[in-house]
Amino acid sequence: MTEYFEVHERDGAARLAELRLADPVTTPAVVDDHLADAGSLWPTERDVPEGDESVLTVLPHRGLPGGTPEEVAEAFAVDYPDVDYPSAAVVSTETADDDSADAYVLSEAAGLVGHAEAFVEAVIETREAIPDDTALMLSGVATPRNVATLVYAGVDLVDRDRAVVRGTQGRYLTTDDAYFLEDLDELPCSCPACRQPREEFDRQDCVDHNVNALEAELARVRRRIRDGRLRDYVEGQARQDQWLTATMRRLDQQYAYLERHTPIYRREEITAATEDTMRRVEIQRFAQRVTERYRPRFDEQPLVIVPCSARKPYSDSQSHEQYHRAIQFRGHMASMTSPIGVVPQELELTYPAQHYDSVVTGQWSANEIEFVADVLERYLDGTDYPEVIVHVPGEGYREICERVEERLDQSFTYTVEDHPTTADSLANLAGALEGYPKYRKRERQHNTLRAVADYQFGAGAGDEIFGDTLTAEGTYPQLRAHGERTDGSQGEQLAALTQQYGVLGLTIAGARQWVDSDVSVKRVAIDDFVPHGSVLAPGVVEADDEIRVGDEVVIEGPSAFGVGRATMPGPAMDEATRGIACQVRHVEEQ
pLDDT digits (tens, 9 = 90+) for 283-295: 999 999 999 999 9
Q: Which residues contact 468 (CB under 8 A, 6 or more apart)?
A: none
Cα Rg of the chain, angstroms: 27
DSSP string, 368-379: HHHHHHHHHHHH
Confidence check: pLDDT of 81 > 80: yes
> How many other CB atoms are found less than 10 A from the CB of residue 45?
6
For the chain, the average pLDDT equals: 94
Q: How many residues does the chain have?
A: 590
**Spatial separation of the C-alpha atoms in residues 590 and 582, rounded to whole Å:** 19
pLDDT computed for residue 488 by the predictor: 54
pLDDT computed for residue 358 by the predictor: 83
Q: Is 571 helix (H, G, I), strand (E, B) or coil?
A: helix
pLDDT computed for residue 68 by the predictor: 83
3-state secondary structure labels for all residues of 25-81:
EEECEECHHHEEECCECCCCCCCCCCCCCCCEEECCECCCCCCCCHHHHHHCCCCCC
pLDDT tens column, 150-182: 999 999 999 999 999 999 999 999 999 999 999
DSSP string, 256-295: HHHHHHS-S--SSPEEE-SGGGGGSHHHHHHHHHHHHT--
3-state secondary structure labels for all residues of 456-477:
HHCCCHHHHHHCCCCEEECCCC
Place 73 in a pLDDT band, splitting at 50, 70 and 90: confident
Q: Which residue has the higher pLDDT, 484 or 406?
A: 406
The residue-averaged pLDDT of 366-374 equals 95
Instruction: Tell me whether strands 87-91 and 56-58 are parallel, antiparallel or unpaired.
Output: parallel
CA 142 to chain centre: 23
The residue-averaged pLDDT of 436-454 equals 95
pLDDT computed for residue 173 by the predictor: 97
pLDDT computed for residue 65 by the predictor: 82
The residue-averaged pLDDT of 74-92 equals 93
Q: Is 216 helix (H, G, I), strand (E, B) or coil?
A: helix
Place 69 in a pLDDT band, splitting at 50, 70 and 90: confident
Instruction: Tell me whether strands 270-272 and 157-158 are parallel, antiparallel or unpaired.
Output: unpaired
Q: Which residue has the higher pLDDT, 344 or 362?
A: 344
**Spatial separation of the C-alpha atoms in residues 231 and 222, rounded to whole Å:** 12
Q: How far is CA 409 from CA 295, 296, 405, in A?
A: 21, 21, 6
Confidence check: pLDDT of 485 > 70: no
Confidence check: pLDDT of 486 > 60: no
Instruction: Tell me whether strands 14-19 and 25-27 are parallel, antiparallel or unpaired.
Output: antiparallel
The residue-averaged pLDDT of 495-514 equals 96
pLDDT tens column, 207-237: 999 999 999 999 999 999 999 999 999 999 9
pLDDT computed for residue 307 by the predictor: 96
pLDDT computed for residue 74 by the predictor: 83
Half-sphere exposure of 234 (CA within 13 A, CB side): 33
